[in-house]
Amino acid sequence: MCLVPTTSPTSVYRTIEAGAESWIARSHPINTGSRRKRYSFWENTQYMAEGSAVRVVGIDLGTTNSLVAFMQGDQPTIIPGEDGDRLVPSVVAFDADQHGFVVGNGARATLLKDAASVVYSAKRLMGRGVEDVQEELKLFPFKLVEGLAPGDVLKLEVGGLQLTPPEISAYILLQLKMNAERFFGAPVTRAVITVPAYFNDAQRQATKDAGRIAGLDVLRLVNEPTAAALAYGLDKNRDGLIAVYDFGGGTFDISILKLHEGIFEVISTGGDTHLGGDDIDNLLIAIALDDIAGDADLSIDKDAIPTGELVQAVRKAVIEAKIALSEADETKLDAQLPNGKQYTRTITRAQFEQLIAQTILRTARPCVQALKDAKLTAEQIDEVVLVGGSTRIPAVRALVDELFSLSARGKKPHTELNPDEVVALGAAVQAQILAGANAGSALDDLLLLDVTPLSLGIEALGGVVARIIERNSTIPASATQHFTTGVDGQTNVAIHVVQGERELAKDCRSLARFDLKGIPPMVAGMARIEVKFLIDANGILHVSAREQRSGKLAEIEVKPTYGLTDEQVETMILASFDHAEEDLDARQLIEMKNEAETILTAVEKGSSHAAWQQLTSDELAQIAACVNELKTSAAGSDYKLIRQNIEQLDKATRRFAELMMDTEVMSAMKGQTMDAAGESMGADVIAPHAFAKAEFEEDTVAEEKT
């Protein structure tokens, strides 16, 4: 039976080397070992010496890209991945037969040839139920496991495996953990992970589960807008009201913060955990697929369900066009379809902005509500910080300008820090604070006061919601409310914990249910039941219920409907230990095979280049022999042999690389004077000294002879 409230809530507490570079390395971006920034043993030793006993990293687990950072002195610094890139695409490719996986750029390349074995944007699925994701899955290459019932943990069919979103996210976190451990030369086991401010309890718990599966002790979950403010706050060190507009790949957040004497106090937050750049991509993908189906020349059955490879080819073209339109007024949406046909369409920025207008407008309402909750007007906001790759879209920046009246007040939004990196930088700041800042550090006086994004309560008699902790309450937070029984002789009460802003429990998200049993029988209304809610610094909820007359107590750490049990998480962790060695071998084999395939394709294309004809017969024979050896090894399962054959082919094609470079330079300078050629190189050419006109002295001896 449900509870009856007795009183109102009380006690609320709250990375080019000089010289000729390998042609393969230029043709194959993944093979960038000679170009990536290297850190000396001395540097790494220094980093390890800086509080190595309490090393804590900051992680931005993003929908599109993820990053890991640490504090180098008083400056947060991004740790590059094994390919030298700072951003690690949040994409995972699986090989069920080999028990292997690849995370990042390698996995993204697999999307175009084997879409069903790749998963991306898993963050959008964290803590969600079957009924929440049906519409979205239509454009994803992966499918749900059959037979899932409402309330079951979401499982996906990917590459012959069945995986939950926290498990998939754990692979991304594991890659970031490996990047950090390679950088430091020491184990990394503790982290601060950022989450969207509007993540509910289920989504936060799913993120912590992912961290545990990856072998990380998650010290704190920090709201992404708050982390961004921390990153900027170190440089600004000023008082005022800050709005953080965070429009990423899969989520949107807006947070209003008050910065005063090093205290970052979040006073309101809002957003949409299912609104981001993915929605813009999906809109354009749907339009392009309709366009393709209506073009008879492309030979695509308009009634057939688009294949995963087709969708991914179009998705790649859409994303490239979206990025180009942030700078250009017009671009081509150019996709190589799986049947070999080419789909090309010109799109202008005006058309693009018209198509996405309603999507980006959806960010306005949460902004207005956040200002209202903070009891502020747009004109009272001193600074606006832009976070997330989607904020590079000019139309988005124009909307932000309008929402906060920036131009009218002679202001501009802050974009000094890379919007893709700022959240990870802030997470590194919070990580160092938790690890214990060095005495005299700029972090000494920083204090972070975050808030809970949604109200929390229980279902009371009649299905109404009795709110116990209101949204935008500073966390940690604690609150109690008293209830009584509604029926004579009632000895058992069901506690139904919900989260949301609706008045009826059926319209809110159910978080947990538990029973308080053994209440002495008494007249309805006589029992006095105290329900206490406690939200910890991660935003995770703990609930207890006590009948005060008898002292009977029941309590629970809320395990959300779509979360994982401790047994499930433990099983996943043990499985990762059991398969660790074979997983690593399989992963290296997959990576070497992918690299071999790309290099062989590059050599085949290079054979049609003019420079190829300048090679001697011996050189051509050597290249051909190396190609055959690489093809043979790539068909096998010895990744070390594949790597050795790649290096041999690299060495065999080195002179070709030099000839090709010479040919390209001569072609570019053909018919030009030296002056003209120098000018055509532009102002951005970097040279050891400034270019100057050649000076010639007259040959006076020759003149005398004539």
Active site residues: 60, 123, 224, 246
Any idea which residue has 């953990």 for tokens? 177
Please tell me whether residue 305 adopts helix, strand or coil conformation. coil
Say if residues 65 and 87 touch (Cβ distance below 8 Å). yes
Residue type, 157: E
Per DSSP bridges, beta strands 553-557 and 541-547 are antiparallel
CA 388 to CA 379: how far, in whole Å?
23
Which among 114, 102, 33, 22 is positioned nearest to 602, based on CA atoms?
A: 22
- Tally of helices (H runs) and strands (E runs) in the chain: 20, 30
SS3 string, 36-60, reads CCCCCHHHHHHHHHCCHHHCCEEEE
- The two structure tokens encoding residue 120: 């991306």
CA 130 to CA 125: how far, in whole Å?
10
Strand partners, 368: none
Q: Evaluate the omega torsion of the peptide bond into residue 419 and state whether it is cis, within 30 degrees of 0.
A: no
CA 597 to CA 32: how far, in whole Å?
16
Task: Please give the full DSSP string across 528-548, using - where no structure is assigned.
Answer: -EEEEEEE-TTS-EEEEEEET
**Which residues make Cβ contacts (< 8 Å) with residue 169, sequence separation at least 6?**
61, 122, 123, 126, 206, 207, 210
Q: How many CA atoms lie within 13 A of 329 on its CB side?
A: 0
How many whole angstroms from its chain centre is CA 678?
A: 42
**Which residues make Cβ contacts (< 8 Å) with residue 664, sequence separation at least 6?**
none
Please tell me whether residue 575 adopts helix, strand or coil conformation. helix
Please tell me whether residue 357 adopts helix, strand or coil conformation. helix
Angle at CA of residue 53, ends 47 and 58, nearest 5°: 65
CA torsion angle 200 202 206 212 (round to 10): 100
Phi, psi of 336 (to 5 degrees): -85, 110
Say if residues 223 and 182 touch (Cβ distance below 8 Å). no
**CB neighbours of residue 417 within 10 Å:** 19
Residue 635 φ/ψ region, left for φ over 0, alpha for ψ in the -120 to 50 degree band, beta for the rest: alpha
Which among 178, 184, 179 is positioned nearest to 47, based on CA atoms?
A: 184
- The two structure tokens encoding residue 327: 């700078």
CA torsion angle 430 433 435 437 (round to 10): 140
Say if residues 218 and 212 touch (Cβ distance below 8 Å). yes
- The two structure tokens encoding residue 230: 């921390």
How many whole angstroms from its chain centre is CA 147?
A: 30
